[in-house]
Structure 1
Amino acid sequence: MTNQKTTRIPRMTLSRLPLYYRTLCNLADEGTRRIKSADLGTATQVEPTTIRRDFSYFGELGRSGYGYDVGHLIRIFGEILEVDEPQYLALVGVGNLGRALLKNNFRRNPNMAIVCAFDADPGVIGEEINQVIVQPMAELGATIASLQINTAISTVPSHSLQQVSAKLVDNGIRSILSFAPEPVILPEFVNMRYLDLTSEVLNLLLLSERGQAAVAK
């Protein structure tokens, strides 16, 4: 993502751009050419007022009563997200989740791919998964430097996350997505995102229970 284009845009707005982009692409595939914020809100589960506020940071994207041109939004957001530029990622932790990520490997986005994977377990080092060979942690720095990677995915457990994250940052990684929920201490210039699958499922269960209660009333 180009820093010059997004310097003054709120972080939360930027975090929603991939959701907007993916949803709009799906809508375009289904034949949708024009959409209003209310309909996009239904598709993304984002409040229409939030959508309109987010879009306002990128200029006059829509017209009152007309809505938004889906193709135009895709072009604008795609340029900001640099979806046409190759985006290479590193993976640390090749357990069950890491293997699943490698096997999928963003197959619906030809410009995004995990191109290297690392693990400390001698039992998996040297294994090839979907054309990616698992390397030892000792080779992490040299590989990341040679491939000019600045983003990594970590599936290591919480007790290893601080050490692994520090090693990634020391070797040039500036953005990390972690599947362990415990926060770690890193320099302010590092973008760290946590994806806690257990919490996400619990949230869905809670919303489901609320929906059932509302129907019962």
Structure 2
Amino acid sequence: MKPDIPRIPQATTKRLPLYYRFLQSFDNAGHKRVSSQELSEAMKIDSATIRRDFSHFGALGKKGYGYEVPTLLEFFRKTLDQDEAANVALIGVGSLGTAFLKYNFQKNHNTKIVVAFDTKAPVEGTTISDIPVYHSSVMLEKLEEYGIELVIFTLPSRSAQQVADQLGTSSIKGILNFTPIRIQTTDAIRVHTIDLSVELQTLIYLIRNEHTE
């Protein structure tokens, strides 16, 4: 049964998968207990931030003792729905999209790309990295057929809003958007945008200003 989760800050939410990943590493290494300081050193996140993040979920550890790795791992596994697989569709099979199909989320993830769409693909479908790729004209039909709730946008920016509008009539609940535009959708669809150019500019700024006041 999934734990009852209170409303938590978005920044904390984004760190939850990282906690789960590093806890898996500690568990695989045979660690039964871990402190916030040890997590801090491994993850390069301030230990106070880790303790504050964990405090949103109640008493996960003991002061002066730390956290039981198996217990914490089980908690985050349930919190992140790791037991419930999520089938994902990819829209736009260019260079970035093809890379996603080849990677397709390795083990220890509960998500998998099971179908993709592109305007250059045949209506009857083709296969890339063992994943069926169909023409965009049959997208809504195939999304329903595959039971998709989450899609990844790696299509040209000029087409992103139009495709998002089409998805407004579907059962899609989330879009992971790799285009630089801000997509408008219905309230039923949550959009998470990852603008690679912005991320790169942010990294450059941080590198160049790391030692300035």
The reply to whether TM is greater than 0.5 is yes
TM-score (norm 1): 0.86
One-letter amino acid of the counterpart of residue 192, structure 2: R
Q: How does 1:32-181 map to 2 (within 5 A)?
A: 32-109=31-108, 111-122=110-121, 126-181=125-180
Give me the whole-angstrom Cα distance separating, in 2, the residues matched to 1:78 and 1:101: 24
Cα distance change on mapping 1:42 and 1:200 into 2, 3 Å = farther
One-letter amino acid of the counterpart of residue 135, structure 2: P
Cα distance change on mapping 1:11 and 1:5 into 2, 3 Å = farther
In structure 2, list runs of 5 or more residues that go unmatched.
none
Give me the whole-angstrom Cα distance separating, in 2, the residues matched to 1:130 and 1:142: 22
Give me the whole-angstrom Cα distance separating, in 2, the residues matched to 1:123 and 1:136: 5
Q: How does 1:195-210 map to 2 (within 5 A)?
A: 195-210=194-209
How well do the aligned residues superpose, as a CA RMSD in angstroms?
Answer: 2.4
For residues 106-126 of structure 1, the C-alpha deviation after alignment (integer angstroms, 9 at most, x for no partner) is 122364210010011247983
Displacement of 1:7 after TM fit?
5.2
Worse-superposed segment, 154-163 or 94-103: 154-163
Partners of 1:127 and 1:133 within 8 A in 2: yes
TM-score (norm 2): 0.87
For residues 61-116 of structure 1, the C-alpha deviation after alignment (integer angstroms, 9 at most, x for no partner) is 01111111222111001011111222110100000111111111112236421001
Partners of 2:123 and 2:138 within 8 A in 1: no
Give me the whole-angstrom Cα distance separating, in 1, the residues matched to 2:144 and 2:108: 24
One-letter amino acid of the counterpart of residue 197, structure 1: L
Q: 1:22 aligns to what?
A: 21
Displacement of 1:203 after TM fit?
2.5
Partners of 2:176 and 2:192 within 8 A in 1: yes
One-letter amino acid of the counterpart of residue 180, structure 1: T
Partners of 1:94 and 1:124 within 8 A in 2: no
Partners of 2:122 and 2:134 within 8 A in 1: no
Q: 1:188 aligns to what?
A: 187
In structure 1, list runs of 5 or more residues that go unmatched.
none
If each structure's helix is expressed as a fraction of its own residues, which one has the higher value? 1
Cα distance change on mapping 1:141 and 1:124 into 2, 3 Å = closer
One-letter amino acid of the counterpart of residue 61, structure 2: G
Partners of 1:155 and 1:180 within 8 A in 2: yes
Give me the whole-angstrom Cα distance separating, in 1, the residues matched to 2:141 and 2:108: 26
SS of aligned partner of 2:168: helix
Worse-superposed segment, 170-179 or 198-207: 198-207
Cα distance change on mapping 1:39 and 1:202 into 2, 3 Å = farther
Give me the whole-angstrom Cα distance separating, in 2, the residues matched to 1:146 and 1:60: 43
